């Protein structure tokens, strides 16, 4: 064991303990009595059910995260990464193939070990609380499609970045940054068109009262809307949602069929007004460039570490390599990643408040409040999260805070 190895282990353990503390604070912050502000969202019975749902998920997450911690520590203390490295070197000497095989093996075994947890969460917890609509066939097909996509897209990007490293040397991080940035923008523009249909059916919102109301609203705010879709989310879950994606002419708004089934026309237009607010205030564009900036910082820092034999030795590996350096750097980079994640969440929560205010200003704040209350109730949301947990993990403000803002601003 060397100093770098101990630093990596310390980072992993501190990360686990900090998350455990936040989960504990969140759990202790649950109120047995229905808060006064929550009346009209939950009745006593459903409020208790929402608390049982949160506690069940929290306990299960602790088990799965502890399992992941133990597995990672076993790989570190018993030279598991060195074993995979030696296995890869027995089959090929190509740096690109070694990188693909190394991360492919780790991803495959990690995914296989995660399947029992995913099955339990879907078919036991979600089923118990009435959310699950996924069949075993759909679950298996999703897994297969996900693995194929990860192999094609993730493997392709990894091979390209490895080739840049071998070819460009010092400037590899700049070229990789440019390539990843182009890919990120492409995915923002075409994700809903190319990836979503592989898992769900997207259909244009049919003519009728809802479409007429939405088109009427869009006309009043000068929002050119051509792509308004309904997603058949009910084949997997009863939970409802909506989202905005794309840039420029490729912008799209997607409403879950479960959202349409449970909300009035006014509530649905208010939800759409919120999504239009994100577009009008360029939140999607800001988020894209924010992600690109974070990627650039990460790649620059990575370039400073590459080629240092200490990284390989910290993982018990004899020979330094591009993929081992990436893995070791990823473990060391975790604290910076968490800080960036917190900053991203702060910006995201601010954007949500702004989009809420836009919906209130251009349509109807009361209708949006009603929609948010229904969403929280239908999804059994935790209404009393601990402020520290919100600060670290929440990309959206807690419901009661959103309602207060809508009421007072």
Q: Which residues are catalytic?
A: 275, 356
The tokens for 283 are 């939140």
- Backbone φ and ψ for 62, nearest 5 degrees, come out as -65, -40
Q: For the chain, what is the radius of gyration of the CA atoms? A: 23
The tokens for 9 are 């282990």
- Backbone φ and ψ for 316, nearest 5 degrees, come out as 75, 15
List own/partner pairs for 308-312 with CB under 8 A and 24 or more apart.
310/2, 310/4, 311/4
Closest among 315, 392, 342, 312 to 9, alpha carbons compared: 315
Closest among 134, 154, 143 to 115, alpha carbons compared: 143
The tokens for 245 are 């994606």
SS3 226: coil
Q: Round to whole Å and give the CA distance between 141 and 139.
A: 6
Q: Round to whole Å and give the CA distance between 323 and 16.
A: 25
> With helix as H, strand as E and coil as C, how does 92-104 read?
CCCHHHHHHHHHH
């Amino acid at each position: 064991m060397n100093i770098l190895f101990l630093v990596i282990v310390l980072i992993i353990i501190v990360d686990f303990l900090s998350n455990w503390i936040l989960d504990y604070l969140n759990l202790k912050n649950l109120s047995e009595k229905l808060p006064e502000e929550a009346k009209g969202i939950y009745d006593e019975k459903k409020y208790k059910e929402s608390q049982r749902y949160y506690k069940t998920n929290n306990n299960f997450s602790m088990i799965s995260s502890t399992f992941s911690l133990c597995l990672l520590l076993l790989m570190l203390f018993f030279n598991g990464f060195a074993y995979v490295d030696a296995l890869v070197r027995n089959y090929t000497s190509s740096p690109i193939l070694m990188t693909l095989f190394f991360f492919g093996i780790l991803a495959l075994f990690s995914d296989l070990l995660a399947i029992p947890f995913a099955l339990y969460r879907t078919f036991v917890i979600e089923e118990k609380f009435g959310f699950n609509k996924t069949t075993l066939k759909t679950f298996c097909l999703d897994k297969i499609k996900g693995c194929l996509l990860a192999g094609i897209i993730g493997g392709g990007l990894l091979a390209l970045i490895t080739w840049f490293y071998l070819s460009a040397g010092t400037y590899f991080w700049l070229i990789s940054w440019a390539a990843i940035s182009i890919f990120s923008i492409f995915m923002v523009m075409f994700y809903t068109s190319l990836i979503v249909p592989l898992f769900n059916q997207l259909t244009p919102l049919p003519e009728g009262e809802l479409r007429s109301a939405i088109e009427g609203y869009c006309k009043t705010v000068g929002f050119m809307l051509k792509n308004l879709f309904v997603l058949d989310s009910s084949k997997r879950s009863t939970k409802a949602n909506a989202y905005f994606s794309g840039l420029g002419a490729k912008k799209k708004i997607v409403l879950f069929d479960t959202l349409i089934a449970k909300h009035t026309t006014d509530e649905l237009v208010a939800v759409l007004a919120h999504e239009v607010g994100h577009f009008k205030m360029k939140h999607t564009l800001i988020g894209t460039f924010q992600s690109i900036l974070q990627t650039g910082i990460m790649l620059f820092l990575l370039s400073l570490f590459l080629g240092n034999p200490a990284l390989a030795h910290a993982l018990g590996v004899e020979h330094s390599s591009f993929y081992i350096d990436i893995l070791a750097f990823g473990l060391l980079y975790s604290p910076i990643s968490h800080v960036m994640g917190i900053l991203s969440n702060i910006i995201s929560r601010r954007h949500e408040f702004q989009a809420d205010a836009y919906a209130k200003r251009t349509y109807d704040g009361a209708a949006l409040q009603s929609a948010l209350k229904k969403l929280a109730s239908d999804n059994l949301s935790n209404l009393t999260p601990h402020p520290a947990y919100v600060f670290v993990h929440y990309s959206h403000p807690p419901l009661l805070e959103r309602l207060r803002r809508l009421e007072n601003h």
